[in-house]
Amino acid sequence: MLLSLKGSFPPAILALADGTVFIGNSIGATGTTVGEVVFNTSITGYQEILTDPSYCQQIVTLTYPHIGNYGVNAEDVEADKVHAAGLIIKDLPLLASNFRSTETLSHYLVREKTVAIANIDTRKLTRLLRTKGAQNGAIIGLAAGEAVTPALIDRAVAQAKAAPRMAGLDLARVVSTKTPYEWTQSEWTLGSGYGALSQPEFHVVAFDYGVKKNILRMLAQRGCRVTVVPAQTSAADVLAMNPDGVFLSNGPGDPEPCDYAIAAARTIVDSGMPTFGICLGHQIMALAAGAKTFKMIHSHHGGNHPVKNLDTGRVSITSQNHGFAVDLQSLPSTLRPTHISLFDGTLQGLEHKDKPAFCFQGHPEASPGPHDIAYLFDRFADAMRAAKVA
């Protein structure tokens, strides 16, 4: 944002739980928000990030300096609303230009009642989070004519310190659908938009722990008619639908409190049903088999994470969004690791040795990209096809 035009946006305060304070400009809704402050290194995809349910109760810092330059459109959403608790950026470009754009990022944030701050030193903030780890924070977006005062700064710091910690929070049931629904929309292509599944080969039941729409589209693209069910649906109810496969979705929060999901996943995998998990679903599958998870000091958020396939040696650049990980040393004898992060060596994928069940920590659907690891969806389809023949 040009400094000469900063007066067009009211002031805003960002405070961290350690007492660090940044003063910038409010580019979203007026009001206060709190959450865990994390940073994401993606260059594009701010709309997909904001609407990803995995960011529930998290305030996202985007490290790329210019955010909002291609505007917002009605198609590039991963859920029906913004789930991120807030947004932190450096520069908001004055011009949003793209042939698909329908409104500016600032207008979108106001309409979605999302508090956001710009014109702060995001490099300084990122270095602080990288050194100390993710921590809670608060943003106060002031109304036009309001000024920053010491009392408001003190209030922001107090609210940051009082925000609940992510460890121990079961947020899957918070963001999950309340009722089952069918999904047949397939992937987007230039010139024709989203497609529609016409002749399904498989029936997949997807647990919604915070599922992204592009995951469902990639399943449909591979011939899957998808029935999406609430997070707390029992294994018996899912198996009664007679699916060809079961999908465990991404989602926010700590996996350990999700005892309902862990119990359901254990029963489904033990039944021999082809099962595929992503992100939180990966962690739930691991917990169901007896492994352990832990809160990461340095969480993974971005679209540039190298992951190595331990079987082939192939390195894929992946999209990541998680603050918890499966403890590699805790894997029981029934599981084997398949992928690891080349950033920090954390576990990225595993599979059951004697069941058609596997999972991945990152996001293979990676809307808007990268798409290196999308082959896992093909593997899931192959597992269901093999189970049908058996």
C-alpha span between 181 and 193 (Å, rounded): 22
∠ Cα 218 219 221 (to 5°): 60
Q: Which residues pair with 24 in a beta bridge?
A: 12
Structure tokens at 192: 């024709």
For this structure, is 279 an active site residue?
yes
CA Rg value for the chain: 21
The answer to whether 269 touches 289, Cβ cutoff 8 Å, is yes
Structure tokens at 298: 């340095």
Sign of CA dihedral 149, 151, 153, 159: negative
* Cis bond upstream, residue 370 (ω within 30): yes
The H or E element that residue 282 is part of is helix 280-288
| Length of the chain as a residue count | 390
User: Catalytic pick from 48, 256, 351, 365?
Assistant: 365
Q: How far is CA 331 from CA 157, 261, 286, 343, 361, in A?
A: 40, 19, 8, 21, 15
For this structure, is 83 an active site residue?
no
CB atoms within 10 A of CB 273: 22
* Cis bond upstream, residue 150 (ω within 30): no
For this structure, is 365 an active site residue?
yes
User: Catalytic pick from 282, 301, 322, 363?
Assistant: 363
User: Catalytic pick from 224, 258, 279, 359?
Assistant: 279
DSSP secondary structure, 141-172, as one string: EPPTT----HHHHHHHHHHHHHSPPSTT---H
The answer to whether 171 touches 253, Cβ cutoff 8 Å, is yes
CB atoms within 10 A of CB 102: 13
Q: Which residues are catalytic?
A: 279, 363, 365
